[in-house]
Structure 1
């Protein structure tokens, strides 16, 4: 009986002991978490107690603070020729070292990730976009900003911003042009003696995978140093140039093919009978009006510039061909109705012998040898043959002329386009020019370098 009681109580005692151990372990864990939270709060309070966010890092040492910049492009759209600007949304990432925020001797935390409330508590670079027209930060659902503070005092600040930037365009080759739109970042108050901007050594510019532009292709980008010198001093500046090649597909469908078909349609009049005057005039006037309307529509979507664009050459030539077709019909019509002045003999029953009789003759009549000859206008029997000959020549010359124009037009533009592409390929990679290795690193590698290296100043 005693053995039965012991065997019955043993599982209950065992379970009770296990539960007590678990509660003790979790209690210790909760206590550790609370201690960690208290340490971080105490650390932040002590760290910011004597911190002045109005003074840049290394101010006492009179050394310039290096700010590393990285751009992640999430969208690139609304490129407008009329307003000469474009809209871009980026994640602006800045990294610098502030020795005042070094907490290696205070806490064993590798990194502190803080929200936007902490941004106003520390010093930030006074970066602004030189060619900005308008911009805004994103605040949905919370302000899209955050801070990371590493043990060695390195600060990582990221913010999401949408920008409308000016982009002066040269439209001589439109719509087979390549535009260069830049993004400039400059310090507003600090000169190069106090602040320097450098590109991130891992990946200065990152583009969202699958990013597509409506009418352009983002072929490449170039990184440059655009340090500005004014009367007030030299200010640090970095610039990225985006190489945007326009896709001609839209304009082929909307402009080139329709206008070429209208020109071909105007040639139909060469096969219409020369006596069908209303049909040929209607066709000629209709094609002229259509070409003029197309040309007006193209000009409305472009700025008013003082130079000639490639599409202006095309539309003007199409208008010349259509007008020449109507002019050809005018020449054909004149030839077919041409009259010649000939003397026609008219017999009279009475003899005209006296001068009095001659004075009584109608204008255009003369008396010769007792016969009355009248000057009359008769239609040239060979006029229609000449008109038909002109039509036959027009059927060959107009298509040949238009084909020759197309060969010259497209060959010259494609040659220019190929030269631009070859030039872009021969350019050295911007990151190589800046001495940056083209390697892919993980976030862990970046974090390890940030924590373990204090060389970044």
Structure 2
């Protein structure tokens, strides 16, 4: 036989052997899928498995069935202060043992069986105790699966969106921290039949890029919250989500504008006391703006019976603005009083001048008269009393006074209205700065104390 013919014959035989091997592999795969169907029919066929009966306890005993739970928080869309609720989307997983679902894995070739119909196997009757609304996700297919492992373990996984209640304490708002819980409990099975446990290791996972507009998720804690009722004790799991409110938003939107309004109201102290339209319009405008700001803040919060930190801030700022308006009323009254006093002084000076002129005229007549009396020392003329009073006044004014910086400084402003304005320019900023010191030290320290 020629060499080339032998070579081609050997190549052809090798090719036929590979095709036969590939055919056997494909035949094995087809048989493997058929085996899965046979296993499902074997363990879930009619008369073989009853989904109404709960699994047995540990090691096949009559004890309670143990269900281990873990969740994956995909997103938290909002935390509403008015309705006191929050919305969360999560992947919820349960795992338990069911001895009736054991099957042959054919040497490890069947890792697990997958179902999408939860009604075919027994399911724990877990419900979310603080749920307000919830829905499943069905796009494109229902986001749920059940895996049955060869040793009888069942894994149930589903993606759901929930709106949960979150009672809040807003005494420190907006310097507060809130704790929102997620409670999961058994509805019908008592702890004698069903017990929920957190999965060992890491029972709660949170997506890494979780973003909230006004809060930061600081940490989360898992715990148990079994409840006792008239019908028995029910197993319950709880996860507490600790949120810290982002203060930068409120600093820009509330605190800084309120400070600016208070400072603008102080501009009235630097205007002339006779500029009545300017000072009145400035005081009324700042007061109305501050009242509108306060109403807008309260509209975004629930009506609670206690005082919040933001209420203290807006209330004091509103008081300062209102005080600036009242200060102008006092200045206006003092200005009119100063004018009245100035007019009285002018009239008094004019009367004194007229009286002095009349005395001089009377003296001239006496000097020109033919009859004179030597009884002048016994007669007191009206001018003598006035001269004595002026002498006493001069003596009083000539007495040395103690040096007083405030009195010396205030003496530069002769009218009371001007003095009130000058004192207000110093008093209002000092009192407001003192209030800020007390406010921030009180609420920031109280926040740290609550965290500890």
TM-score normalised to structure 2 length: 0.81
Give secondary structure in 2 for the equivalent of 1:62.
coil
Give the deviation of 1:14 after TM superposition.
3.9
Q: Tell me which protein shows more strand as a share of its residues.
A: 1
SS across alignment from 1:47? helix
What's the offset of the Cα at 1:12? 3.7
Task: Report the alpha carbon displacement of residue 147 of structure 1 after superposing the two structures with TM.
Answer: 1.6
Alignment of 1:131-150 (within 5 A): 131-150=130-149
Determine which of 8, 14, 17 is the counterpart of 1:21: 17
Tell me the CA shift for residue 115 of structure 1: 3.8
Where structure 1 has 5 or more consecutive residues not aligned to the other structure, the ranges are: 349-368, 370-381, 424-457
Identify unmatched segments of 5+ residues in structure 2.
356-381, 383-411
- Select the structure of larger CA radius of gyration: 2
Does the 8 A contact of 2:219 with 2:242 survive in 1?
yes
Is residue 329 of structure 2 the alignment partner of residue 299 of structure 1?
no
8 Å CA contact 2:36–2:110 kept in 1: the answer is no
1:39·1:107 contact (CA, 8 Å) conserved in 2? no
- Cα distance in 2 for partners of 1:204, 1:318 equals 48
User: Per the alignment, in what secondary structure is the counterpart of residue 86 of structure 2?
Assistant: strand
**1:390 Cα deviation (Å)?**
1.0
Aligned residue-pair number: 388
TM-superposed CA distance for 1:61, in Å, is 4.0
State the alpha-carbon separation in 2 of the partners of residues 317 and 408 from structure 1: 12
The within-5 A match list for 1:232-311 is: 232-311=231-310
- The residue matched to 1:55 in structure 2 has which SS? coil
Query: How far has the Cα of 1:15 moved from its partner?
Result: 3.8
* Contact map agreement 1:126 1:188 (CA 8 A) in 2: yes
- TM-superposed CA distance for 1:313, in Å, is 0.6
For the residues of structure 2 that align with 1:48 and 1:113, how far apart are their CA atoms?
12
User: Equivalents in 1 of 2:168, 2:234: separation in Å?
Assistant: 26
Q: Which residue does the alignment assign to 2:101? A: 101
Change in 2 beyond 3 A, CA 1:151/1:115: closer
Asked if 2 retains the 8 angstrom alpha-carbon contact of 1:187 and 1:235, the reply is yes
Once the two structures are superposed, residues 336-379 of structure 1 have per-residue CA deviations (whole angstroms, 9 ceiling, x without a partner) of: 1112484764979xxxxxxxxxxxxxxxxxxxx9xxxxxxxxxx
1:410 to 1:332, Cα distance in 2 relative to 1, 3 A = same
Shift of 1:185: 0.3
- Give deviations 1:247-274, integer Å, cap 9, x for gaps: 1111111110001101011111111111
Write the distance in 2 (CA, Å) between the matches of 1:275 and 1:311.
Answer: 37
CA separation of 1:313 and 1:91: change in aligned 2, threshold 3 A: same
Give the whole-Å Cα distance in 2 for the aligned partners of 1:77 and 1:239: 20
How many angstroms apart in 2 are the aligned matches of 1:265 and 1:22? 92
> Structure 2 vs 1, CA of residues 146 and 79 (structure 1 numbering), >3 Å: closer, same or farther?
same
**1:386 and 2:416 matched:** yes
Is contact 1:337-1:383 (8 Å) kept? Answer: no
Match of 1:361 in 2: none
Q: Any idea what SS the aligned residue of 1:88 has?
A: strand
Aligned-pair CA distance for 1:105? 7.8
Q: After TM superposition, give the deviation of residue 109 of structure 1 in Å.
A: 4.2
RMSD: 2.4
The residue that corresponds to 1:451 in the other structure is none
* More helix by percentage: 2
2:85 is aligned to 85
Pairwise CA distance, 1:22:
2.1
- Match of 1:75? 75
- Please report how far the alpha carbon of residue 418 of structure 1 lies from its aligned counterpart in structure 2 after TM superposition: 1.7
Secondary structure of the residue aligned to 2:112 is strand
The answer to whether the 8 A contact 2:105-2:111 is kept is no
Q: Give the whole-Å Cα distance in 2 for the aligned partners of 1:47 and 1:336.
A: 100
Contact 2:172–2:309, Cα closer than 8 Å, also in 1 = yes
Q: 1:336, 1:383 within 8 Å by CA — same for their partners in 2?
A: no
The 8 Å contact of residues 183 and 241 in structure 1, kept in 2 or not, is answered as yes
Give the CA deviation at 1:110: 5.2
Query: Which residue of 2 is the match for residue 151 of structure 1?
Result: 150
- Structure 1: how far apart are the matches of 2:112 and 2:105? 15
Structure 1 Cα separation of the partners of residues 113 and 170 of structure 2: 47
Q: Which moved more, 1:147-156 or 1:229-238?
A: 147-156
2:172 and 2:447 in contact (8 A); partners too: no
CA distance in 2, matches of 1:412, 1:383: 39
Cα distance in 2, alignment partners of residues 160 and 398 from structure 1: 58
> By how many angstroms is 1:162 displaced?
0.5
Matches of residues 426-437 of structure 1 in structure 2 within 5 Å?
none
Whether the 8 Å CA contact 2:36–2:113 is kept in 1: the answer is: no
CA 1:236 to 1:109, structure 2 compared with 1: closer, same or farther past 3 Å? farther
In 2, the alpha carbon distance for the partners of 1:107 and 1:47 equals 18
Match of 2:311 in 1: 312
Match of residue 53 from structure 2: 55
2:201 corresponds to:
202
Q: Which has the higher contact order (CA 8 A, sep 6+)?
A: 1
Question: For residue 116 of structure 2, what is the aligned residue in structure 1?
Answer: 116
Q: Is the 8 A contact 1:335 1:384 kept in 2?
A: no
Change (3 A) 1:152 1:103: same
Q: Go from structure 1 to structure 2 and tell me whether the alpha carbon gap of 1:300 and 1:263 turns closer, same or farther (over 3 Å shift).
A: same
Structure 1's 58 and 211: CA in aligned 2 closer, same or farther, altered over 3 A?
A: same
